[in-house]
Amino acid sequence: MKTLNCRSLYLSTAIAIAIAQAPLTLAATFDLETAGVQEIHAAVDAGALSYEKLVKLYLARIAAYDDKGPSLNTIINLNPKALETARALDAEFKKTGRRSPLHGIPILAKDNFDTADMPTTGGTFLLDKSIPFQDAPTIKQLRDAGAIIIAKTNMDEFAHGGVGFSSRGGQTLNAHDPRRIPSGSSGGTGSGLAAWFSPLGLGSDTGGSIRGPAWANGVVGIKPTNGLITRTGIMPCVLTFDTGGPMARTVYDAALALGYMTGVDPKDPLTSTSAGLFYKDYTQFLKKDALKGARIGVIRDFKGTDPEVDRVFNESLKDLVAQGAVLVDDLHFPAIALQSRDGVMNPIRAEVKDNYVDYLSTLRPGFPRTVTELGEKGLKLTKPKGDFLPHPSVFTRFTELGQRQPITSLSYTSAKDHGMKAVQGAVLGLLEEKQLDALVYPTRPTQPEMINPETPRIVERPRLPSLSSIANVTQFPDVIVPAGITNEKMPVTISFFGPAYSEPRLLGYAYAYEQATQRRVSPSTTPALAGERFEY
């Protein structure tokens, strides 16, 4: 009996030790609503998800909420080969592993990025069937990394308007409140990301066209330093101020995408300024303690425009202090910077005519070749082949461009050669005087306005207060992060703004703030669907 007891004790002890030493396996939960690139790959690695299934989940959301439900109208064209591409990437992953961290990740692309397998319309019915000869370099770089362009998104016609309306796609709605604008011109990407039609998106920015939709829809956006990303293959608006950039639901995902979009392009001379200054991996700068000791200037221009935006912004400042930031409050941009839209941007718009002639020359036969032809055709047709009226303000502008002063005019050369440098110097002077690492301000001082049903007939829209053009005139970077919501359930975002090529620092601050606060809110109009959440 004594021997049996000792043996039993030995076996019990051995079993207990074996259990203690065995690896502990815990169930994980995949949730499409909160899943970023890292969570997607983790589920794929565990065999619980494939890239094909992931694309199907996003396509199901688009079917449920873009055409039906709130009918957000964010998509102009779905990629008919998205599932086929995903299956091929699944097979490649099983055979040789991932090409990059973007392998199998769907991306919503604004419809002014050239795609050789889908039309690139710029939001106009005049280019409805225009399929470029080749991908934009940024699209090619993302695809080479294994990303899937799942769809092209609606945008303001030729990137003019700022409300999310085009004759090609009609009016895109704000997912948080379909009565309101999604802002523009990258409004389709912004609203689509808010409704989680994809984890990543692409926008372009001339005077706030990434940052406006990030603000209105409560997502992350990066307006990079001009020259960090090539403009080749992106339909121009005002080329001097234009830049593409990533948009996303998280700072990590936006930073990840940015690295795959950078590089010197011989066809875009401005990118030569980024040589030795760009990175292929911006995620290395994402630290949760990045704000500790950072001197952040608080811009108070347009304070009092909307008390609810002020309330949320002031709460975000407390969060920055809690993370160790040193705030220098009650600052204002120099007057020359605040006046830069009229004093600098307007004269430089003279180049639009030449910008568009250059782009139109790259199109296949049968499409307009001059801005005058664009304008005349747009105004002549009172209704396109689809259901939406042309935007008269856009086409009137194009007919007027034919009579505009040339880029050799004194007003243009003065603004470009001297005006931009003056604004840059004034902003850098503020940063130096106050010994600041970055500036922070509410991306827009108001909540998104209600959609005006007369939008297609409005020639001149009232100008709303905004600081976004300063980043374009200076060509400096701006990183946008969700900061909370108003009492009307509309998102508010904050902008981290700094000098040229300060993306690593700004992204670090944005990431630290995001991780400490987690203020992104999903729209109530696009709830989760069956199968989007599961344990594995």
Residues serving a catalytic function are 110, 185, 209
Closest CA to 146 of 94, 86, 189, 83: 86
What distance in Å separates the CA atoms of residue 377 and residue 357, rounded to the nearest whole number? 16
Q: Which of 469, 476, 367, 464 is nearest to 125 (CA)?
A: 367
Q: Quick one: DSSP state of residue 22?
A: S
Provide CB contacts within 8 A for 186, sequence distance 6+. Answer: 110, 153, 155, 201, 202, 203, 204, 205, 209, 210, 212, 213, 247
**Going by DSSP bridges, is the β-strand pair 326-331/170-171 parallel, antiparallel, or unpaired?**
unpaired
SS3 379: helix
Reading the block at residue 460, the tokens are 């001149």
Contact predicate 378/390, CB 8 Å:
yes
Six-digit token string for 51: 């890239």
Angle at 246 between CA 244 and CA 248, to 5 degrees: 155
| CA-only gyration radius of the chain, Å | 25
Helix residue ranges per DSSP H, 170-266: 187-194, 211-217, 251-259
388: its two tokens? 């939406």
DSSP E strands: which ranges in 234-350? 243-248, 295-299, 326-331
Helices assigned H by DSSP within 288-363 = 307-322, 335-338, 340, 346-348, 352-360
Centroid of chain to Cα 360? 25
Length of the chain as a residue count:
536
The CA distances from residue 427 to 24, 398, 420, 430, 438, in Å, are 54, 33, 11, 5, 11
Q: Are strands 326-331 and 295-299 parallel, antiparallel or unpaired?
A: parallel
d(CA 227, CA 242): 9
Q: Single out the residue of 308, 333, 166, 170 nearest to residue 235, CA to CA.
A: 166
**Structure-block tokens of residue 145:** 């990394």
